[in-house]
Amino acid sequence: SIGLKSMAAITKTTNNLKDYRANSLWRLTLRRILRQRNAMIGLGILGFLLLVTVFAPVLAPYDPNQVLIGVEEGVFRRQPPCIHAFGCPADQPQHILGIDGNVRDEFSRVIFGTRVSLFIGFSTIGFAILIGTLLGAIAGYFGGAVDNIIMRILDVLMAFPSLLLAIAIVTVLGPGLENALVAIGIVTIPVYARVIRGSVLSVKETNYVSASRAMGASAWHILFQRILPNVLPPLIVQATLGIGTAILDAAALSFLGLGAQPPLAEWGTMLGVERNQVFTAPHLVFFPGIAIMITVLAFNLMGDGLRDAIDPRLSQIKHG
């Protein structure tokens, strides 16, 4: 009885110390993030994009799918940008980014395209993280045959170029935004499974995990309550970088006609529809491309800053 009480006291002390260290680590990491210029720039751009997403109906002067023939006089297909402050005639309707091939306001479509692209990034990576974390955690903790089976299946997925595999999956499922999201999520799962598996392998032999195991805690309790909360930092970094990649992949699928379908205002679809007008109406290709670039840049800057904040040695090597 005395031995059990002593063991319980040791376990409680170990857990309290672990919680204290974890809180201190999160506070230290937050301070490091605030000192990372890349992370702050990326966070600022992302904050701006989120505001555009929330206030899109207010910022956009037109419905993104509204055809302006018969609504405004003087508009025509692929009309170049017209800004009154920059010398455009006052009697001509103002369209900041011009008119697309279906006589719709390009600015409104780019604004509403922010919603679609951010939804694509967060939903696909959320799906990949959920499945990948579960598979990687089970493989890393239980090991043996379970580890071999899970990781060999994921190795098969990683053997194919991600975009080509996504194209094959969408071809089987059928074109559409939902199927494109599923395809991108599936090809991204192995990345997060490998990150979690490696972290679980290093954490499962620590003292506080051994103490929980000695107290009779179940394997699932140890895995989800003791191990996973301590392997989140590398997962967060990988997820931040992965969102930008997911947005690019979705834009590529939409460009090929396999992702979002017209008339949905999605940047990749907008590029695909007007790809042959790069010389005659370059604004219809330039502005959606710039929007994709800025969004991906924001997530890449955040991921780079988070990586340096979580592991300062990388920053020292980079600038050493």
Q: What is the mean pLDDT of residues 281-298?
A: 94
Residue 218 binned pLDDT confidence (cut-offs 50, 70, 90) = confident
Report the pLDDT value the prediction gives residue 31, as an integer from 0 to 100.
72
Amino acid at 125: I
User: Out of 5-9, 49-53, 265-269, 310-314, which region has the weakest mean confidence (pLDDT)?
Assistant: 5-9
For the chain, what's the residue count?
320
Report percent pLDDT > 90 for the chain.
53
Which position has the higher pLDDT, 32 or 189?
Answer: 189
- The answer, yes or no, to whether the previous bond of 263 is cis (omega within 30 of 0) is yes
Contact 235, 192 (CB under 8 A): yes
Count CB neighbours of 122 within 10 A.
14
Q: Where are the alpha helices (DSSP H) in 55-105?
A: 56-59
Distances (CA, A) of 110 to 266, 276, 297: 8, 19, 17
Contact 11, 222 (CB under 8 A): no
d(CA 20, CA 136): 27
Report the pLDDT value the prediction gives residue 25, as an integer from 0 to 100.
55
Residue 175 neighbours by CB under 8 Å, 6+ apart: 257, 258, 259, 261
Residue 31 neighbours by CB under 8 Å, 6+ apart: none
Say how many CA atoms lie within 13 Å of 135 toward its Cβ.
23
d(CA 97, CA 67): 15
d(CA 132, CA 129): 5
Q: What is the mean pLDDT of residues 268-289?
A: 92
Q: What's the predicted TM-score (pTM) here? A: 0.83
Q: Where are the alpha helices (DSSP H) in 93-231?
A: 106-142, 144-158, 162-173, 177-203, 207-214, 219-221
Residue 137 binned pLDDT confidence (cut-offs 50, 70, 90) = very high
The torsion of the CA quartet 299, 58, 271, 301, rounded to 10 degrees, works out to -10
Contact 131, 187 (CB under 8 A): no
Task: Read off φ and ψ for residue 95, nearest 5 degrees.
Answer: -135, 105
User: Out of 23-27, 176-180, 212-216, which region has the weakest mean confidence (pLDDT)?
Assistant: 23-27
Amino acid at 142: F
